């Protein structure tokens, strides 16, 4: 009996914490506390991950093979668990980004949102 690889779309929709964790890990390896700080910075304080939420999500993401754990030593020689986005996790993050983009496009079409503009003031279609 062969098992086919899971398609990224099967894991959608992602919870908000999982999506943001994938987003911040796309920038490089981070340890848990740094992930919490980056998510808070990225969302301008709107999303704050507590330790229970963060490590519960990380445990599920490891089991789903979205991320991997890597051990690194910090500047003081202390070993910390760092987490890395793997290729499957990147595929899932891209699939979720496309899903969200499609939803926003429909909201704009229904005139629930203004059209996005670029830095030069022109509309982005």
Longest Cα–Cα distance in the chain:
56
Q: What is the extent of the structural domain holding 45?
A: 13-89
Please count the structural domains in the chain.
1
- The CA–CA distances, whole Å, from 39 to 3, 43, 107, 113 equal 34, 6, 25, 25
pLDDT of res. 4: 80
CATH of residue 67's domain is 1.10.10.10
Please check whether residue 49 lies inside any domain of the structure: yes
pLDDT tens digit at each of 125 positions of the chain: 557 889 999 999 999 999 999 999 999 999 999 999 999 999 999 999 999 999 999 999 999 999 999 987 666 667 789 999 999 999 999 999 999 999 999 999 999 988 776 655 555 65
71 assigned to some structural domain: yes
In a domain, 7, yes or no: no
User: Which residues, in sequence order, are CB contacts of 105 under 8 Å at separation 6+?
Assistant: none
Tell me if 3 is assigned to some domain. no
Q: Cα dihedral angle (34, 39, 45, 48), rounded to 10 degrees?
A: -80
Residue 5 falls inside a structural domain: no
């Amino acid at each position: 009996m062969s098992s086919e690889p899971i398609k990224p779309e099967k894991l959608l929709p992602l919870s908000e914490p999982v999506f943001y964790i994938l987003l911040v890990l796309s920038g490089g390896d981070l340890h848990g506390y740094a992930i919490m700080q980056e998510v808070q910075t990225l969302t301008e304080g709107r999303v704050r991950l507590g330790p229970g939420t963060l490590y519960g999500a990380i445990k599920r993401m490891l089991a789903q093979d979205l991320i991997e754990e890597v051990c690194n030593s910090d500047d003081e020689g202390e070993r910390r668990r760092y987490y890395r986005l793997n290729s499957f996790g990147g595929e899932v993050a891209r699939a979720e980004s496309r899903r969200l983009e499609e939803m926003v496009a429909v909201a704009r079409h229904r005139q629930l949102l203004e059209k996005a503009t670029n830095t030069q003031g022109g509309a982005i279609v």
